[in-house]
């Protein structure tokens, strides 16, 4: 495919429904892959293959000699969810790396391994193969759990700082030991709605509580809704289903106690997906010396609804 054809194809994406955009993306990627096979120097996509054969896609933006910032995305999204933050930090001299978790985005969709230990191991393999050291690890929602389990499981040899933003630790589900958690019925409801009509469930989440678009007076962005929906629909059906258990029932308490790097915890006080009382307020007590920033009226998706503030806070913390 020549460059003029690629430009034309990219313009077509702007006008097609999400499912057609996904199909077009697949067609363009397939042709690009064939072209790369003929000319290896023109590599357009980056993957690693894990020890169990799973392909993990990643983006690597910014100067290769810059200090590294890694990004772990939330459910059921992809590395695309971090583009505003990656662009901002890369434009300020940082090397930004974000991957699609197994079963999400452009990574492959293995039947097994859709749990936090394997997510953390995949991230460890990625950082090892890229020979990353001294990284600031940033995780949102499920990605915050991934960062916590990474440090708990693999230590901080490759980590200089950590940021948990709207993150699920220490544990979401309610229990005798976690009376401020959400009842299991909430997550059973997620699974029921997901299996009944996954596409409609994703639309309901994106158009309502994820961005706080269900709050009075909030300006709704149809573009954000469609972007969230498209990313969600690119996830594997079983992978995203299994991940509901992973993000809701995994206990990260002991992982947080192992943090030995400067840590910034950011959370919106109107987060409807991961309520602050059972997450950030508890995590800040478990991580020694953690700095807690609360965004007044903040949603779950601060990377979109409080973009300028989050970008400034991440850059300041990265430079500190």
Q: How far is CA 318 from the centre of its chain?
A: 19
CATH architecture type of domain 46-319: 3-Layer(aba) Sandwich (3.40)
Q: How confident is the model at residue 145 (pLDDT cuts 50, 70, 90)?
A: very high
Q: What values do phi and psi take at 173, rounded to 5?
A: -75, 145
141 catalytically annotated: yes
State the Cα–Cα distance between residues 118 and 99, nearest whole angstrom: 14
Q: pLDDT tens digits for 21-53?
A: 444 445 444 444 444 444 333 344 699 999 999
Contacts for 159 with CB less than 8 Å, ≥ 6 apart: 134, 135, 136, 137, 150, 151, 261
- Where do the structural domains in the chain lie, given as residue ranges? 1-44, 46-319
Check: CB of residue 275 under 8 Å from CB of residue 300: no
State the Cα–Cα distance between residues 245 and 197, nearest whole angstrom: 18
State the Cα–Cα distance between residues 208 and 203, nearest whole angstrom: 8
Check: CB of residue 137 under 8 Å from CB of residue 72: yes
Q: Of 100, 122, 271, 313, which is the active-site residue?
A: 271
More confident residue, 21 or 207: 207
Q: pLDDT tens digits for 306-319?
A: 999 999 999 999 99
Q: pLDDT tens digits for 146-173?
A: 999 999 999 999 999 999 999 999 999 9
Q: What values do phi and psi take at 249, rounded to 5?
A: -110, -10
Q: pLDDT tens digits for 97-132?
A: 999 999 999 999 999 999 999 999 999 999 999 999
Question: CB neighbours (10 Å) of residue 311?
Answer: 18
Check: CB of residue 40 under 8 Å from CB of residue 78: no
pLDDT at 14 over 90: no
What are the b/e assignments for 209-237, b being 16+ CB within 10 Å?
Answer: bbbbbeeeeeeeeeebbbbbbbbbbbbbe
User: What is the pLDDT at residue 35?
Assistant: 43
State the Cα–Cα distance between residues 114 and 49, nearest whole angstrom: 16
Token couple for 311: 């970008």
User: What is the pLDDT at residue 177?
Assistant: 86
Q: Of 300, 301, 304, 313, which is the active-site residue?
A: 300
Residue 166 — left, alpha, or beta (φ > 0 → left; ψ -120 to 50 → alpha)?
Answer: left
Q: pLDDT tens digits for 45-91?
A: 699 999 999 999 999 999 999 999 999 999 999 999 999 999 999 99
Token couple for 196: 């009944």
At what angle are helices 3-13 and 18-38 packed, to 10 degrees? Answer: 160
User: What is the DSSP secondary structure assignment for residue 67, as one 8-state letter?
Assistant: P
Q: Can you name the residues that pair with 263 across neighbouring β-strands?
A: 162
Pairing of strands 263-268, 159-165: parallel
State the Cα–Cα distance between residues 10 and 293, nearest whole angstrom: 39
State the Cα–Cα distance between residues 246 and 278, nearest whole angstrom: 16
Check: CB of residue 230 under 8 Å from CB of residue 21: yes
Q: Of 141, 235, 279, 283, which is the active-site residue?
A: 141
Q: pLDDT tens digits for 224-243?
A: 999 999 999 999 999 999 99
| Continuous segment of H or E residues that includes residue 71 | strand 68-72
Residue spans of beta strands (DSSP E) within 12-78: 46-49, 55-61, 68-72
Token couple for 225: 């809704």
Instruction: Give the predicted TM-score (pTM) of the model.
Output: 0.86
| Continuous segment of H or E residues that includes residue 142 | helix 142-154
Report the chain's terminal Cα–Cα distance, integer Å.
Answer: 45
Token couple for 30: 């397939």
């Amino acid at each position: 495919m020549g460059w003029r054809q690629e430009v034309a194809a990219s313009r077509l994406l702007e006008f097609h429904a999400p499912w057609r955009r996904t199909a077009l993306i697949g067609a363009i990627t397939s042709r690009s892959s064939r072209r790369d096979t003929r000319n290896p120097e023109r590599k357009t996509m980056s993957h690693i293959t894990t020890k169990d054969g799973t392909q993990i896609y990643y983006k690597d933006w910014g100067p290769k000699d810059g200090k590294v910032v890694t990004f772990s995305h939330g459910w059921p999204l992809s590395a695309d969810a971090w583009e505003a933050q990656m662009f901002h930090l890369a434009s300020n001299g940082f090397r930004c790396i974000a991957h699609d978790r197994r079963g999400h985005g452009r990574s492959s969709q293995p039947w097994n391994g859709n749990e936090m230990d394997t997510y953390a191991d995949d991230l460890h393999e990625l950082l090892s193969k890229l020979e990353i050291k001294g990284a600031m690890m940033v995780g949102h929602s499920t990605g915050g759990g991934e960062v916590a389990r990474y440090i708990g499981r693999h230590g901080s040899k490759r980590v200089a700082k950590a940021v948990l933003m709207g993150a699920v630790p220490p544990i979401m589900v309610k229990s005798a030991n976690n009376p401020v958690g959400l009842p299991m019925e909430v997550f059973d409801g997620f699974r029921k709605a997901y299996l009944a009509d996954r596409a409609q469930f994703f639309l309901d989440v994106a158009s309502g509580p994820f961005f706080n678009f269900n709050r009075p007076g909030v300006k709704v962005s149809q573009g954000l809704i469609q972007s969230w929906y498209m990313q969600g629909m690119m996830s594997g059906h079983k992978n995203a289903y299994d991940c509901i258990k992973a993000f809701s029932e995994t206990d990260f308490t002991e992982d947080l106690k192992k943090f030995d790097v400067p840590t910034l915890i950011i959370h919106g006080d109107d987060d409807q997906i991961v309520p602050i009382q059972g997450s950030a307020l508890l995590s800040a007590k478990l991580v020694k010396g953690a700095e807690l920033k609360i965004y007044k009226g903040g949603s779950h998706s601060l990377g979109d609804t409080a973009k300028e503030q989050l970008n400034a806070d991440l850059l300041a913390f990265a430079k500190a």
